[in-house]
Chain A
């Protein structure tokens, strides 16, 4: 176990290192002199020259990286040249919204996918399983940006439910009921995507587990169907589910960007897209770095949970 965790930890450090190089190098993808682009069109040559030095662009590139990395390790991702605020504080204000949307969506997704997969696997190829199979397959072909637009059309425009339309976000501190209303459509959109994946993965694993001998034994002992499902079959079948959930997080963040953009919810996604259109490159760089590292950390955490659920994995 310890050896396994150490190996994964080393890999994690390697991945974060690669991400940091990638994020750092983004600035140099800008056409021409990055300082000119960042300073904007109306900037004086003096300001551009000052910025050039401030960004450390006059030094060799590996030295620039170490300076940047040093600042990052001290929690300093630079200061936005557009809004003159620190990138770290902007991210700190936006991040909780993303976390809330994702947590809500995962609660919905797991609460629906697990019972439905259990129902389906009890009678594979039965009527319920076929209906769920066909509808989950169809949902797989509906991209999140279509789902959210349709939901907005139906729920907030046609039915006129308050706080669900574009630009009607209410923060958690102001009014938690209105906050939940304004995050309902985003959470639901993300939940649909997750539900489909979780349902399909758990269903096929449950079907395989239910054919094992220990299940037959449990049945012959007269243990109730419900107890067999939850106590005997669920745990060995949940490994792939957890793995998928871990990998799914990256996709969730991206779908989160889309719903935030449409509804003007000031999370990381909305901040990122506005920053791109304002050419606020340091903010974009900061968000990309934080989000990527976050995704990798979540993946790592799920790997760890999988190990607790099924300790055989780390012994391989």
Chain B
């Protein structure tokens, strides 16, 4: 009886049903809109992101150029939409690598424990001590010429230890639950327990961390682009647009403002969704 009360307090259940809130869905809509724009950038009625109109350099916002033009007369709005392709593909690509390798390892380690877990966790902690951004800058500066796929691979690998740690901790919390023991007693295979019992229970935490992870990777890619270490110009990305604005800050503040706004709003959307999902599903947070 006391066990039952421990497992399922009635209050918590009603709290879990609480709606996500309008702001959450606004964020979802905003992110979906951005992703849609990134995928269909070349189908949408946009101008050519590389077309240089020397007659109209550093122009402010107008009807023809919604967000103005840059120092080479290129349309800023178009370049922001095309630029989202780089940020989003690096964010998603790197997280696919990070989760693809880090998450199964983390789950296995937390489920199996023993020597496998001990060795893997020590290795991951050693790797975590190595500052990811410095490692990324270092590898990208030597592994030339730089390209989108190399950036995705490097950041993806750098994120593995972090994903491993989060997923391992999340799995540890559920691996000792009674329903896992019950499944074991009934003779379920390890694979079945991992996929059918553990995975659905760590999925919410995993997804919320995934969203925040994508945001973190986008900041990292933006920083690399700002330093001129991401995709080469003239391909636009949010980071390298801000980088290009450095030299004309006084003449054309729009060139810095709009890409900054684009990246901040996108990150805010991702972080808000991630945070909301976490507090929605994480029992400890709800109690607070």
Which residues does A use to contact B, with CB under 8 Å? 11, 14-15, 18-19, 22-23, 26-27, 29-31, 137-138, 140-146, 149-150, 152-153, 157, 166, 204, 207, 250-251, 253-255, 257-258, 261-262, 272-273, 276-277, 281, 284, 288, 291-292, 295-296, 299
Interface SS majority for chain B: helix
Q: What are 7 A-to-B residue pairs whose CB atoms are below 8 Å?
A: A29-B142, A29-B143, A141-B268, A150-B260, A262-B226, A296-B129, A296-B130
- B: interface residue count bin: 35 or more
The residue of chain B having its C-beta at the shortest distance from the C-beta of A300 within the complex is: B129
Residues A11 and B126 in contact, CB atoms below 8 Å apart: yes
The 7 closest A-B pairs by CB, nearest first: A250-B131, A254-B133, A141-B267, A29-B142, A141-B268, A145-B226, A288-B138
Q: At the interface, yes or no: B250 with Cβ under 8 Å from chain A? A: yes
The residue of chain B having its C-beta at the shortest distance from the C-beta of A26 within the complex is: B142
B24–chain A nearest beta-carbon distance, Å: 14
The residue of chain A having its C-beta at the shortest distance from the C-beta of B256 within the complex is: A149
Bound: A79/B163 CA distance, A: 39
Bound: A200/B210 CA distance, A: 21
Interface set, chain B 242-258, CB cutoff 8 A to A: 242, 245-246, 249-250, 253, 256-257
Bound: A255/B239 CA distance, A: 14
Bound: A153/B257 CA distance, A: 9
Q: At the interface, yes or no: B233 with Cβ under 8 Å from chain A? A: no
- Chain A residues with CB under 8 Å of B272's CB are 137
Bound: A27/B141 CA distance, A: 10
- Chain A residues with CB under 8 Å of B223's CB are 143-145, 254-255, 258
Q: Which of A23, A141, A149, A276 contacts B245 (CB 8 A)?
A: A149
Known contacts A144-B223, A157-B250; decide if A284 and B129 are in contact (CB<8 Å).
Answer: no
The residue of chain B having its C-beta at the shortest distance from the C-beta of A23 within the complex is: B138
Q: At the interface, yes or no: B219 with Cβ under 8 Å from chain A? A: yes
Q: Which of B131, B229, B275 contacts A137 (CB 8 A)?
A: B275
Residues A149 and B260 in contact, CB atoms below 8 Å apart: yes
Bound: A219/B223 CA distance, A: 48
New contact pairs (15) apart from A143-B267, A254-B134, A261-B226, CB-CB < 8 Å = A15-B129, A15-B130, A22-B130, A26-B142, A143-B264, A145-B222, A145-B223, A149-B249, A153-B253, A157-B250, A207-B288, A254-B131, A254-B223, A262-B246, A299-B129
Residues B141 and A284 in contact, CB atoms below 8 Å apart: yes
The residue of chain B having its C-beta at the shortest distance from the C-beta of A263 within the complex is: B246
Residues B133 and A250 in contact, CB atoms below 8 Å apart: yes
